[in-house]
Structure 1
Amino acid sequence: ISPVLIPALFWGIVLYDFFNSELPPGIEQPLKLRIFHSLLITAMVAGKILEKLGICNDLTILRAALNGIPPWRDSKLLIKDLTVDEVPLRIYQPKSPSTGKRRGILYFHGGAGTFGSIRAFERVCRYMAKKCNSVVVSVGYRLSPEHPYPGQYFDCLNATLYFMKSLEEYHVDPGRIIISGDSCGANFATVICQILLNGRDLPKVRAQVLLYPGLQGLDFQLPSYQQNAFVPILPRKMIIYFCFRYLNRKPTVWKDVLRNCHVPESMRQQYKKWVSADLIPDEFKIRGYIPPKPTSYKPEVHEAVKEILGITFSPLLAEDSIICQLPESYIATCEFDVLRDDGLLYKKRLEDNGVQVTWYHCKNGFHGILAFFGYGVFSFLSANKIMESIVNYINSL
C-alpha cells in the first residue's frame, strides 16, 4: 500500500465520520473521541483492502491497533502466562505479603468476540490486581471467525474451572471469587455465572462485575439504541455488523435485524415482561425516544441470526429460577452507549429477584471507554472514575 494512501484514507474517514456520526452534548472529550473513532474505522477499511489483496484477514489490522502499547514492567506484580486447554491466560499476583488468602478475579475482555486481547486490557487487570490486592486472571479466549461461536463461552468456562480448581496454588480465598468482564466479556461473565449455578463441587461465586454489558439480541430499538445510534465508538449499525461477524455470517439482512424482524411474535410477547422500553426509567428517555412502528416477522431473517435469541447470547432472557440464585452484582453503564439499556434491564431483573446490585452510571461515558484506561493524555477521565468505582466495590467484598 502506498505511504500516501493511509493518511489520505484516514482524513477521508475523518470527513466521512464528521457527517455520519453524532457527538451529543455532555459526551467526554468529543474531539479526542472522534479521532480515535476515525482511527478504528481506518483500521477496519485498511483491513478490508488488504483482504482483497490477499495479504491478511480483514480483522488483522483492527486487532493489531486495539492491542495497544505494552506497558512497562511492574515491580509490584508477579505476572505469569500459561495455556489451559489451548486458551491463553495471564495471571497477575501482588508481590507484597498478604496476611491471608486473596480475592480471585477472572476478567473476560471485550471486543465483540472477534477482536480484543489480554494485552489490550493489560492496564485494567494490573490496576485491579494492585488496588484490590487480588489475584487477577485475564482470559485470552480464542476469537471468531477463526474459532467459531460459541467456542468463546467454552474457553471462558474452561479457564474459570481451571482457576477454581487451582485456588490453593494461587493462595486465593474460595469464598471471594469474582467474575468480571466488559462489553461482550461482560456477556460471557453473565453466562458463566449462570452456568456455574449447576456446579456442585465448585466454590460459589462471590460477585459478578459487569461493565457496559451486551445481554440481549431481542430488541435493537430500545431508547439507548435510538439515542446513541450514531455515537462512537459503537454505533447501532456496527453492533449488528459485529453480531454477524461473530456468528460468521454475511450481513445480508442486517437492516431487518435492526428493525427486530428476526423475532417471532410469540417470543416478543413472552419476553416483553423483561425486555421493553416500558421498563426503562423515564429519565433515560429524555434525550429522545420514539416507540418503533410494528414490524412483520420474517422467518428467513430469524433463521439467519437465531443464535442471538438463545440464552447463551442473550442471558437477560434467563428464567427467574436462575436469576434469583445469582451472586451479588456490580453493573456499570454509560450514558452514550447503545448497550446502556441492556445493563439497566438486567439491573432491574436482578433486583426484582432479590439480588443485591451496586450500579454505577457514567454520565459522560461511551462504549468501550476502558480500552483507553491507563494511557495518560490519551485516556478519558470517565474511565478513571469507572475503575475507581470498581475498585471500591471489590474492596468492599
Structure 2
Amino acid sequence: MDIGWAILLIGFAALVAAFLLLVIGLMYSEMMNSDIPRGVANSGKLHMVHGLFVGIAIVGRILHRLGICHQVSFIRWFVACFLTRLNPVPTGLRVKDLNFLEVPVRVYEPTTVCDGLRRGLVYFHGGGWVTGSIDYVDEVCRHIAKESGATVVSVGYRLAPEHRYPAQLDDCETATCHFLSVAEAQFSVDPRRVAVGGDSTGANLAAALCQRLAKREDGHLPFPCAQVLIYPALQMADFNLPSYQQNHAVPILFRGRMAFYFLQYINGEMSVFQDLLEGNHVPTELRPRFDGWLSPSNLPPECLVRGFSERPAPTYDGAVYHAIKAGLESEVSPLLADDDVIEKAPPTFILTCEYDVLRDDGILYRKRLLDLGKNVEWKHVMEGFHGMVNFFNQGWLSFPSAARVVDSVVDYMKTLERS
C-alpha cells in the first residue's frame, strides 16, 4: 500500500472517530437531561433504550444538517430496519395487507370458529403523527386479534411533516367508514360491535374521530361501539399540568417533545414553540372554560403527591394564537370539546401511565366523560411510562409490563356486546 492510500485511510478513520466522539458527547449531554424515577418498571432497560433513541435522533440531526437526508426520514428508516421485527404469522390468525379507498391497512382475522359475527377494532398507531407505522404495532394488533377473537384493522395513515392536519384524521375516517360499510359482508364482523382505538397520538385520532362521526351521524353507518384510548394525547392548551411537570424529563416522551409533535401535526410553525409551552396561545376569553376542564383540582389527590406548582398566569399573544389556533379545536384537542359533543361519546376505555407527561390528559378526559354520565373503564399502570405498548414482544427491546397494557385491551374487547 502506498503512502497516499495510508494517509487517506488514516484521515477517514480520524473522521469516523471524530463523528463517533461527537455523537457520544451529544448523547451524554442529552442523557443527563433525562430523569427516570425509581418507580418506573425496568428502569435500567429504559435508560438503555432511551440512549439508543437519543443516538438515533442525534445521528439523524447531523445528517439533516449535512444535507444528506431529513432527520425524520432517517429515524423512520432506522426504526423500520433495526427496531421493528415481523415474526411469522401464528397459527389461528390470518393477516392481509389491503387498501381501504387508497388508505393502507393491515387486517388481522382470527381463523378460529366463531358463533356468529365477530367484534372488530380499528387501530391507529402512535408516533406523534410523525413516525410510527403499521409494522411498529404489528405484534400488538396480532395479540389483540388472537386473544380477543376480534378482527383488527390497523391503519397506515399519512404522516407529518409531509402531510399536516387533517390528513391523518381524514385517513382514519376513510378507513373506519369503509370497514364499517363492508364489515359484515367481507369480514364476518358485526358493524355494531366495531370499536376504534390507538396509543398516544393514535388515541388522539380515535377520540377525535368519534367526535367527528358524532357530529356527522346520518344513520347510514353504525357509530363505533367504543373508543380504546391508550395513554392519549388530548389537548394542547396546557403543557404545565402536574403530569407535565412531574414527568417532563422521563423517557421516552419529554414535555418539549410533545409540544413539538403537536406543532408538526398542525403546521410545523416552530417559532411559537416556547410560547406554546408557556401557554401564551390561549385567548383570555377561553381560559376560564379551559381552566375549568384542566384544573389540577379535577385530578385524584395521588396525582399531586410527586409535586406541583401553580404557574403565573400566561401572557396572551394574539399572533401566537392565530399561528396555531387549529390546535385548540376539538379535532386536535378532543378534551376541549363542548359538553354536547363529549356526551355523544361511546363507552370508553382509558389507560394511563404514572410516569407519562400525558397521564393527566387521560384522567381529565375520564372525568369529563363521567360528569356527563358516560360509561368509562379506566386502568392506571403505576410503574408505566409513555410508549410501553411499542415494546410488546419485541425481543431484547421487550418490557414485561407492556404485556399488561395489551392484555387490558384484550380484556376490554371481550366485554363489547351488541349495542
**Would you say same fold, with TM above 0.5?**
yes
1:162 to 159, 165, 178: 178
**Alignment check: 8 A CA contact 2:101 2:174 kept:** yes
Q: 1:47 to 1:377 in 2, by over 3 A?
A: closer
Aligned to 2:189: 172
Structure 1: which 5+ residue stretches go unaligned?
Answer: none
1 or 2, which has the higher helix percentage? 2
**Alignment check: 8 A CA contact 1:180 1:208 kept:** yes
Aligned to 1:347: 366
- Tell whether 2:105 aligns with 1:89: yes
Number of residue equivalences: 397
2: distance between equivalents of 1:10 and 1:48? 10
Equivalences for 1:208-287 in 2 at 5 Å?
208-287=227-306
Structure 2: which 5+ residue stretches go unaligned?
Answer: 1-11
Q: In structure 2, the residue corresponding to 1:302 is in which secondary structure?
A: helix
2: distance between equivalents of 1:149 and 1:363? 33
TM, length-normalised to structure 2: 0.91
Q: 1:377 to 1:57 in 2, by over 3 A?
A: closer
Q: 1:286 to 1:60 in 2, by over 3 A?
A: same
| TM-superposed deviation, 1:158 | 0.3
Aligned to 1:189: 206
AA of the residue aligned to 1:179: V
The more displaced of 352-361 and 94-103 is 94-103
Equivalences for 1:345-384 in 2 at 5 Å?
345-384=364-403
Q: In structure 2, the residue corresponding to 1:253 is in which secondary structure?
A: helix
2: distance between equivalents of 1:359 and 1:133? 22
Aligned to 1:114: 130
Aligned to 1:63: 76
| TM-superposed deviation, 1:58 | 1.6
**Alignment check: 8 A CA contact 1:145 1:247 kept:** no
Q: 1:376 to 1:308 in 2, by over 3 A?
A: same
| TM-superposed deviation, 1:96 | 1.8
Aligned to 2:146: 130
Q: In structure 2, the residue corresponding to 1:70 is in which secondary structure?
A: coil
Q: In structure 2, the residue corresponding to 1:59 is in which secondary structure?
A: helix
| TM-superposed deviation, 1:51 | 2.2
Q: 1:30 to 1:86 in 2, by over 3 A?
A: same
**Alignment check: 8 A CA contact 1:10 1:39 kept:** no
AA of the residue aligned to 1:186: A
| TM-superposed deviation, 1:256 | 1.6
Equivalences for 1:16-55 in 2 at 5 Å?
16-55=29-68
| TM-superposed deviation, 1:10 | 4.9
2: distance between equivalents of 1:104 and 1:95? 14
Q: What RMSD, in angstroms, separates the aligned Cα atoms of the two structures?
A: 1.7
2: distance between equivalents of 1:307 and 1:327? 24
The more displaced of 193-202 and 312-321 is 193-202
**Alignment check: 8 A CA contact 1:21 1:231 kept:** yes
TM, length-normalised to structure 1: 0.96
1:203 to 222, 225, 232: 222
Q: Which has the larger radius of gyration?
A: 2
Q: In structure 2, the residue corresponding to 1:116 is in which secondary structure?
A: coil
| TM-superposed deviation, 1:13 | 4.0
2: distance between equivalents of 1:25 and 1:319? 39
**Alignment check: 8 A CA contact 2:269 2:323 kept:** no
1: distance between equivalents of 2:18 and 2:150? 46
**Alignment check: 8 A CA contact 1:13 1:38 kept:** no
1: distance between equivalents of 2:18 and 2:145? 42
Q: In structure 1, the residue corresponding to 2:176 is in which secondary structure?
A: helix
1: distance between equivalents of 2:56 and 2:27? 13
| TM-superposed deviation, 1:280 | 1.4
**Alignment check: 8 A CA contact 1:215 1:342 kept:** yes
| TM-superposed deviation, 1:4 | 4.4
| TM-superposed deviation, 1:109 | 0.3
- Provide, for residues 237-293 of structure 1, a one-character-per-residue CA deviation record: whole Å limited to 9, x for no partner: 111122222234242221221110111111111222212222112110000000111
1: distance between equivalents of 2:401 and 2:29? 27
**Alignment check: 8 A CA contact 2:101 2:178 kept:** no
Identity %: 42
Equivalences for 1:278-357 in 2 at 5 Å?
278-357=297-376
AA of the residue aligned to 2:211: Q
2: distance between equivalents of 1:250 and 1:315? 21
Q: In structure 2, the residue corresponding to 1:98 is in which secondary structure?
A: coil
- Tell whether 2:113 aligns with 1:100: no
The more displaced of 319-328 and 221-230 is 319-328
The more displaced of 191-200 and 119-128 is 191-200
The more displaced of 23-32 and 207-216 is 23-32
Q: In structure 2, the residue corresponding to 1:296 is in which secondary structure?
A: coil
Q: In structure 1, the residue corresponding to 2:294 is in which secondary structure?
A: coil
AA of the residue aligned to 1:26: G
The more displaced of 195-204 and 223-232 is 195-204
